[in-house]
Amino acid sequence: MTTVLAFVLALGLLIAIHEYGHYRVAVACGIKVLRFSIGFGRPVLRWRLRGNPTEFVIGLLPLGGYVRMLDEREAPVEASQRHLAFNTQPLRSRVAVVAAGPLANLLLAAVLYATVSWIGVEEPQAVVSTPAAGSVAERAGLRSGDWVLQAAVQDEEAEPVRSFDDLRWRLAQAALEGQRLLLVVQAQTQRGQGSTREVWLDLGGFERAEANAQLFRDIGVVSPWSRPVMGQVQAGGAADKAGLQAGDLVLDIDGRRIDDAAGLREIVRQSTQSAVQLWQIDRRGQSLQLSVQPQMGSDGSARIGRIGAFIGEPAQKVLVRQDVLQASWEGLSRTWEVSALTLRMIGKMLIGEASLKNLSGPLTIADYAGKSAGLGLTAYLLFLAMISVSLGVLNLLPLPMLDGGHLMYYLWEGITGRSVSEIWMERLQRVGMAALLLLMSIALFNDVTRLFG
């Protein structure tokens, strides 16, 4: 139920903001708006405001919306109201009305990002765990317990890294764009903080990169540092059979020192079913040795070891918070960064340099909506901001069925001085419809594969 409610709320808000952008600018330009609708199909609810000619409607199918304006191309218009019709407006007004919807979504994203930055959110510290074996981070010399202080792409000036989430965002950007990333790190030792050093990650070797968990495994930075402590143990699992208990601190396995929870998880994953491991643990100050035989499980198409227990304790958190001015700038800059990254990813997918698996449809969005709502207000606001950016950017693409397609027509009109002919308009509409159906089919296929594969 939480997933459904979170999805409906997210979709309704984003559609309403998008259509309100069209509506507000249309009214400001002196255009008569006949209907403002959230959803399609039979109206479930409709009303009018006193002195306002617009009918406000909520449709049965909440998968979109529209703003219907007075227009001679759709129905005859009385001579006395011709100046209120959309098609009679100057080019600049028509461009403003069409562009207002996507821009409203981008503005909403900036406000949401700024709100989260101003409220503040507790995030894991940017202290990395053991890099995955054979990963870029391992080859570059990143080690368990390294605290990432700053990061810089290529030859740009290094900027502070505020949290582990901030670090992952910078890693994803650099990897998807095929760039080198400089990390300024400080080792954490038993005696305190060590000296700082520079670590260069060459992230240009990821072909058809997909922004998922496997990308971060390939990079080698999967999770923040946490102690290798056993959490909840499932009855009947390998950990339970071996006698492991919640709170046990794992010191070494088969003589191999365990530095953190990520290193422990990696050893378990790489185990074979026949392997019996000797675990050295600390249980409330008492040293014990236990024989553990991991069981085999599946992770997609791969076979991995499992012990039936949660590994690791919560990572140390840091409050990431800014004042109003800083938060406002953060909202604008993050919206710009996400928009630019989205466009670059779309371009890479079109030329085959990025996987089409990055496309997501309504099922994945609904799943993420439910999960983010369960994590709290700030997680849900960040989810809304991300989807709002995607909606704004996608609607600006030059596809005839989208706002960007209409802007493409107006660009042609501005250059040539004449509008696109009806014959070409019809042809382009067919091409745009086919492209949208193809994208929707791929996104839905990805949804089903992710959620039920």
The alpha carbons of the chain give a radius of gyration, in whole angstroms, of 27
Q: What SS3 state is found at 297?
A: strand
Closest CA to 208 of 340, 92, 97, 358: 358
Contact 2, 23 (CB under 8 A): no
Report the distance separating Cα 408 and Cα 414, nearest Å. 10
Cβ-based neighbours of 27, under 8 Å, separated by 6 or more: 33
Q: Where are the beta strands (DSSP E) in 77-223?
A: 121-124, 147-153, 159-160, 180-189, 192-202
**How would you class 9 by CB atoms within 10 Å of its CB: exposed for 0-12, middle for 13-18, buried for 19 or more?**
middle
Contact 304, 108 (CB under 8 A): no
Please report the sign of the dihedral spanned by the C-alpha atoms of residue 234, residue 240, residue 246, residue 250. Answer: negative
Residue type, 47: W
Cβ-based neighbours of 47, under 8 Å, separated by 6 or more: 55, 56
Closest CA to 255 of 283, 287, 226, 279: 279
Contact 405, 428 (CB under 8 A): yes
Closest CA to 370 of 354, 383, 361: 383
Contact 84, 30 (CB under 8 A): yes
Token couple for 164: 């582990």
Q: What SS3 state is found at 113?
A: helix
Contact 221, 137 (CB under 8 A): yes
**Length of the chain (residues):** 453
Report the distance separating Cα 294 and Cα 273, nearest Å. 6
Token couple for 437: 């159906």
Report the distance separating Cα 233 and Cα 244, nearest Å. 8
74 is catalytic: no
Report the distance separating Cα 157 and Cα 1, nearest Å. 47
Token couple for 163: 């949290």
Catalytic positions, please? Answer: 19
